[in-house]
Amino acid sequence: MTQRLPDQNENEPSTWTISLPFTLSPGKEISLKDGVHQGKVDQWECCLSRGESIYTLKVSGLPDSSEAEAFVQRLGGGLLWVRGSVQSGIQFNLNLGNVTYFDDPKKAARNIFGPDTKRLVECVIDRGRTAIYPSEKQIATVTAFPVTVSMGIPPERFISALAKGTCLPNAAQVVENRRIMLASEIYSQSHFESSLKSRFLSQMTVLEVLSDRPKQPNELQKYIQKWVLEVDEVLQLCKNLGEKKTIERFKDRIHKLKEESITESVRVFVRKAMKQIMDPKASELAGKIGALYGVRSDIVHGRNVNVGQSPAELQEIVSKSLLAAIEHPSLLTESCVDSPCIASVF
């Protein structure tokens, strides 16, 4: 067995295929008839299939390997869109795995499938890694990773959402936006949480990642700064070490008043996001943020709380907000994961 690119003496492959594996969060499955669904993403034919423990999306017909690599990034943007559209966790990796080519396809097939096989194997890909290979090659896949699935998603809905996300003008760029990627990863992972309260907290974090922490108006900042100076005077007079530390913590809290509160920042972002996608319930959804933060506070501080309809309300807000950010990245400032608004989340 040798690992190499197709022999340069061979004819140039006429088309290339992308194989992109992914898993869904527990409790979700794509309802595939006979385990396969054919569709189209942009102009390319695609096939969605399911093995024992993993889904594979294959996109075929790309004219060269460079265009195939570029389209992988667009598919990544499409899957970010699917996460919000079908409200499911989706785990995938866009890093390309190795494709192993064989000099003797018959021997390779016997080594993999046994001496009686009639198959040919010209190359092998890792079932758990994204790969690009010549479409005419006869391939075999190896390895897998487990996932439990049970609740149906119509394949037409999945492919439709994937096609829409992949065809967004910024589909390839959105996977390079660290804030959107972080928010999408947290949202996806929330669907792998078995605890309703844990999922709720994770999805609140998504909104915090997407929201900015704007400064208060200059006039208000002047009053706050005056207050800080008064506290400094008290600090200079204080001799007790314990009291001094308490006053310093109070001073830090005053400094934070120069920025808008997390709750109000999230409310402002949700309202902007809903208006951007022209959701008729924009004001209603933004108006729920205060109550949802009350539920969050009760959970975090260990108070006995009945979450009621809050998780469903929050999921609607988060999924719509995330889709709005993916489609309209201008909703976010250029500040990234090291910005104050995200640092405050962690």
Q: Residue 106 belongs to what H/E stretch?
A: helix 105-113
Q: How far is CA 111 from the centre of its chain?
A: 38
Look up residue 108 and give its two tokens: 């390779």
Cα pseudo-dihedral 309, 312, 318, 324, rounded to 10:
-120
Look up residue 264 and give its two tokens: 């109000």
Report whether 76 contacts 92 (CB < 8 A).
yes
Specify the pLDDT at position 262.
79
Q: Residue 90 belongs to what H/E stretch?
A: strand 90-92
Cα–Cα distance measured from residue 5 to residue 96, given in angstroms and rounded to the nearest whole number: 14
Specify the pLDDT at position 206.
94
How many other CB atoms sit within 10 Å of the CB of residue 54? 21
Specify the pLDDT at position 339.
41
Specify the pLDDT at position 256.
67
Specify the pLDDT at position 147.
35
By three-state DSSP, how is residue 253 classified?
Answer: helix
**Per-residue confidence of the chain (346 residues) as pLDDT tens digits?**
333 445 444 566 789 999 999 999 888 889 998 889 999 999 999 999 988 778 999 999 999 999 999 999 999 999 999 999 999 999 999 999 888 888 898 998 888 888 888 899 999 988 888 999 999 999 888 764 443 434 578 999 999 999 999 999 999 999 999 999 999 999 999 998 878 889 999 999 999 999 887 666 677 667 777 777 787 888 888 878 888 888 788 777 776 666 667 788 888 899 999 999 888 888 898 889 988 988 898 898 888 777 888 888 999 999 999 999 999 998 887 443 344 444 343 3
* Of residues 10, 329, 37, the one with CA closest to residue 179: 329
Cα–Cα distance measured from residue 50 to residue 152, given in angstroms and rounded to the nearest whole number: 13
Specify the pLDDT at position 254.
73
For the entire predicted model, the pTM comes to 0.71
Specify the pLDDT at position 10.
54
